[in-house]
Structure 1
Amino acid sequence: MGTRYTAVFYAPAAIDAAAVDASLSAAVDKVDRQMSTWNPMSDLCRVNAAPENTWISIPDELAHVLETGLQVGLESQGAFDIGVGALVDAWGFGPSQAPVVGLPTAPPGMQLSAGAASLDVDRKGGQVRKRAPIRIDLSGIAKGYGVDQLAHCLERWGIASYLVGIDGEMLARGSKPGGQAWTVAIEKPTYGVRELAGTMELIDAAIASSGDYRHWVEIAGKRYSHTMNPVLQQPSTNRVAGVTVLGATCMLADAWATALLVLGEHDGVKLARERDMDALFTLRDGERLEEIWVTGGRAYA
């Protein structure tokens, strides 16, 4: 996934730490082999390369993530869309990394959305079928799913107190000895510089962030984020510099952080409140940053 994973946990001294480490590495490698757009041999790339109206066998894990991606797309009114792979690549953020000249557009004839009308997922049968020429990109959800798999891995070892993460997506379970919560950093959405905006304490919760400050391309003096707005068919250009979402699973927190970023300060905040979500919106106004907190029905430490 082009980054690193971390796992901090408390376990009996007798546990085989090397074996745990090997199983953690295998867990994230499995996700990468199934869902990477950069590995031409991945299961996702097989789906992208397949012709329309042809059923393709896929692993259950990939089918689950595709189903979830479609559901979040439906619930976010299309703000989250796993079908923007061609657009991501056209803007230089995909595996081709082609130079960006002018304002890019997706290849002619390529559909830029994935929904019930363009993608059939038969999870029970372990297969998927494209009904339109779409290119799927799971960058906004697969990393969070990978974090969940790290958590499941530790739980299979009987470990109940841990903090796992892939880059900025993290999941905490239990607490430290003595009952202290796990503390994670919230990054300030500053271009090209990693700065601390604050910290958050977590017990039994996942956290994920999406923003415009890590990956961007500059065209004619204007920065364009790697996060695509499927409706506008171009990078998201609203005032939201970053969104952090808390959730029960990191996969959902990851997807919703992207969706709320695309929806922006009005529609995004409105939808987060309607869904009783816990989210932090950071708005950029020149050099000034402004925060909007949305707190749902669940209490997080």
Structure 2
Amino acid sequence: MFRLPLFTLIFLCLVGCEQKTQYERLTGFTMGTTYQITLESQGIDSKKLQQQVDDRLIEINQLMSTYIADSELMRFNGNQTTDCIPLSADTQYVIESAVQIAKESNGKFDVTLGPLIEIWGFDKKDTNNQIPSQETIDNLLETIGTDKITVEQSCVAKKLANLSINLSAIAKGYGVDEIARIVEAAGSQNYLVEIGGEVITKGVNSRQKPWVIAIESATLDQRSIQKTLTPNGLGVATSGDYRNYFEKDGKRYSHTIDPTTGYPITHNLASVTVLHPQVMFADAYATAMMVMGPEASLAFANRYNLPIFMLVKSSAGFEEVYSEAFKPFLSDL
């Protein structure tokens, strides 16, 4: 379920025409990947803006990273108690949102999945591609689940003292939302913000045209464009399983783990792109849908009126499937 940095979005840089207004591009590193901001910068102190962005991203990392030993989240995970622990408003909000999405998806999104990710060798632990036993998986399933998290008004509690939370499938989207908030506060209403493939746009680009984003094809030999879309102010996140996997005894094991079974997914959904006003939700929904599979994802999207675009593996290659709500966002490029 957790994703390694996966650059499944390609940004179409529309250049070659005289700019009517001043645009700038700011770049940097965060969350184990890169970020970029392209914005109308008329009257904006770009150096000050970038410092504000970097400071905020450092703060979010210090709160939610599992790679920083003394982050707020890691201290919470290491606190072997079932007491309700006060957390920052940021961390509590993201955890609360994760619990909400877990309920909506019937457990297909689960931020407590870490032990299963590790036992399958898709985290820091090298398992030499050993397949865990059913008994091991069953035992681990008893120790995970967002139903074991209680979010109170000012604190968060674990029902199992050794439960751990990993927010990597939702925090990057939250980071994009926060950068966009900072950019708007600085005075820009025309921008594109991206962290490691998760993106949000607003207004128009330097040619005074709507921002256009391309969804990457799910091919392994080379990167190419599958479909273009105009987000019209919504956040965009893509999840896929066609690059991160291992093979053993002729069988392919995806890095996407179903938290309800403990096993890698076996369906034919190659990638899913989700649009949502908040990138944090698009990020998490994309992960949940990669677990659900194409049929359940389409039903889920139609139920919640979510614009989604899927690439589904078939004998003829990849079939494009999308929800009714996605149609207005298709680009005419």
1:155 matched residue in structure 2: 184
**TM-score relative to the length of structure 2:** 0.82
1:139 matched residue in structure 2: 168
Contact 2:231–2:275 under 8 Å retained in 1? no
Which runs of no fewer than 5 residues in structure 1 stay unpaired?
Answer: none
Classify 1:66/1:190 alpha carbon distance in 2 versus 1 (closer, same or farther; 3 Å).
Answer: same
1:32 CA displacement: 1.7
Percent identity between the aligned chains?
Answer: 32
The secondary structure found in structure 1 opposite 2:213 is strand
Letter in 2 for 1:184: I
Instruction: For 1:154 and 1:120, locate their aligned partners in 2 and report how far apart those are by CA, in whole Å.
Output: 33
Q: 1:128 aligns with which of 156, 165, 180?
A: 156
Check if 1:209 corresponds to 2:210.
no
Instruction: For 1:221 and 1:29, locate their aligned partners in 2 and report how far apart those are by CA, in whole Å.
Output: 43
Classify 1:288/1:110 alpha carbon distance in 2 versus 1 (closer, same or farther; 3 Å).
Answer: closer
Q: 1:2 aligns with which of 17, 32, 42?
A: 32
Q: Deviations over 1:209-250 (max 9, x none)?
A: 011023223333433222221111122221101000111110
Classify 1:226/1:112 alpha carbon distance in 2 versus 1 (closer, same or farther; 3 Å).
Answer: farther
Contact 2:129–2:246 under 8 Å retained in 1? no
Contact 2:191–2:202 under 8 Å retained in 1? yes
2:113 matched residue in structure 1: 84
Instruction: For 1:187 and 1:112, locate their aligned partners in 2 and report how far apart those are by CA, in whole Å.
Output: 36
Which stretch shows the higher mean deviation, 57-66 or 221-230?
Answer: 221-230
- C-alpha RMSD over aligned residues: 2.2
Instruction: For 1:134 and 1:194, locate their aligned partners in 2 and report how far apart those are by CA, in whole Å.
Output: 39
Instruction: For 2:214 and 2:126, locate their aligned partners in 1 and report how far apart those are by CA, in whole Å.
Output: 34
**TM-score relative to the length of structure 1:** 0.90
Instruction: For 2:174 and 2:226, locate their aligned partners in 1 and report how far apart those are by CA, in whole Å.
Output: 25
Contact 1:89–1:97 under 8 Å retained in 2? yes
Q: Over alpha carbons, which structure has the higher Rg?
A: 2
Number of aligned residue pairs: give it.
296
Pick 1 or 2: higher relative contact order, CA cutoff 8 A, min separation 6.
2
Check if 1:102 corresponds to 2:130.
yes
Higher strand proportion: 1
Instruction: For 1:106 and 1:56, locate their aligned partners in 2 and report how far apart those are by CA, in whole Å.
Output: 29
1:51 CA displacement: 1.2
Classify 1:39/1:107 alpha carbon distance in 2 versus 1 (closer, same or farther; 3 Å).
Answer: farther
Contact 1:140–1:258 under 8 Å retained in 2? yes
Classify 1:24/1:107 alpha carbon distance in 2 versus 1 (closer, same or farther; 3 Å).
Answer: farther
The secondary structure found in structure 2 opposite 1:137 is coil
Classify 1:40/1:93 alpha carbon distance in 2 versus 1 (closer, same or farther; 3 Å).
Answer: farther
2:196 matched residue in structure 1: 167
The secondary structure found in structure 2 opposite 1:269 is helix
Classify 1:227/1:275 alpha carbon distance in 2 versus 1 (closer, same or farther; 3 Å).
Answer: same
Contact 1:182–1:202 under 8 Å retained in 2? yes
Which runs of no fewer than 5 residues in structure 2 stay unpaired?
Answer: 1-30
1:299 CA displacement: 4.2
